[in-house]
């Protein structure tokens, strides 16, 4: 797309960065992103990606806004209680940037609907809150060759990784966290979460997405970032691809 004078002004602080510049901002404006989840992580992800000028933003969530969400889900206001989260968040993004196309998907994506949404975008951000969804999104991204920015937050701790199965060194989500359906998982509703933590991890997810799409810096591919909010410490671990992975391993890709 061509940046008008108004868009040059709107995105001028990006354009001033030599790592982004006009060419990188045009790539951002031409990009499409699917955000799976419009809750604690999805809110900052969508707000920052929308403000940054992502041309087409798909927001998927089947839940409704609840009073207990408002402590951390900054894309929803009190008046949105009872409203679908994707619709509420889309309205908040449009209020920040009416120049972009924001499409709410008011349902939990699965099977054919998930594959259709993943196929329609350049990059996927997993901002969901359960392993089943994360593994389903990961499988769709591997199958369709789409980069995936994954984040999670609970208590005072968060994690972040970027996956791109088209790159040989990149693991997939299953390589790090094998799918064990019988294992219990912690949810914010049971374990709690400090409100700014989802903002920290969500903002980093948005940053990784923008880096990937604009070509700036080095995406967090093949690495896992662990954030300890109580100690204000971050650790980055290198994670190899599992050659026997049933999702992204050679045998699985050939079968697919």
Q: Cα(78)–Cα(65) distance, rounded to whole angstroms?
A: 9
Each as own residue / partner, the long-range contacts of residues 227-231 (CB below 8 Å, 24 or more positions apart, any chain) are 227/157, 227/158, 227/159, 227/160, 227/197, 227/200, 227/201, 228/156, 228/157, 229/156, 229/157, 229/158, 229/194, 229/196, 229/197, 229/200, 230/156
**Two structure tokens written together for 152:** 């999670």
Task: Give the DSSP H/E element, type plus range, for residue 57.
Answer: strand 56-60
How many whole angstroms separate alpha carbon 113 and alpha carbon 175? 24
Active site residues: 188
Q: Name the residue among 102, 53, 26, 67 with its Cα closest to residue 206.
A: 53
Question: How far, in Å, CA of 28 to CA of 22, rounded?
Answer: 10
- Measured CA to CA, the distance from residue 5 to residue 38 in angstroms comes to 32
Contacting residues for 216 by C-beta, under 8 A, at least 6 apart: 17, 19, 20, 24, 210
């Amino acid at each position: 797309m061509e940046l008008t004078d108004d868009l040059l002004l709107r995105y001028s602080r990006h354009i001033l960065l030599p790592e982004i510049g006009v060419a990188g901002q045009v790539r951002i404006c031409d990009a499409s992103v699917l955000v799976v989840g419009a809750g604690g992580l999805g809110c900052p992800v969508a707000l920052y990606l929308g403000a940054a000028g992502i041309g087409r933003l798909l927001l998927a969530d089947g839940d409704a806004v609840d009073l207990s969400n408002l402590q951390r889900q900054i894309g929803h206001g009190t008046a949105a209680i009872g409203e679908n989260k994707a619709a509420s968040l889309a309205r908040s993004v449009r209020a920040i940037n009416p120049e972009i196309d924001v499409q709410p998907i008011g349902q939990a994506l699965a099977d054919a609907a998930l594959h259709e949404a993943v196929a329609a975008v350049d990059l996927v951000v997993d901002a969901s809150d359960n392993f089943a969804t994360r593994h389903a999104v990961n499988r769709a991204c591997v199958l369709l060759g789409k980069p995936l920015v994954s984040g999670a937050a609970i208590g005072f701790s968060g994690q972040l990784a970027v996956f791109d199965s088209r790159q040989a060194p990149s693991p997939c989500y299953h390589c790090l966290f094998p799918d064990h359906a019988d294992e219990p998982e912690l949810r914010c509703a049971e374990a709690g979460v400090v409100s700014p933590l989802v903002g920290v991890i969500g903002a980093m997810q948005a940053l990784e997405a923008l880096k990937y799409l604009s070509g700036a810096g080095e995406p967090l591919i093949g690495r896992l970032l662990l954030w300890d909010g109580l100690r204000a410490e971050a650790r980055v671990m290198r994670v190899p691809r599992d050659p026997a992975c049933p999702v992204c391993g050679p045998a699985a890709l050939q079968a697919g």
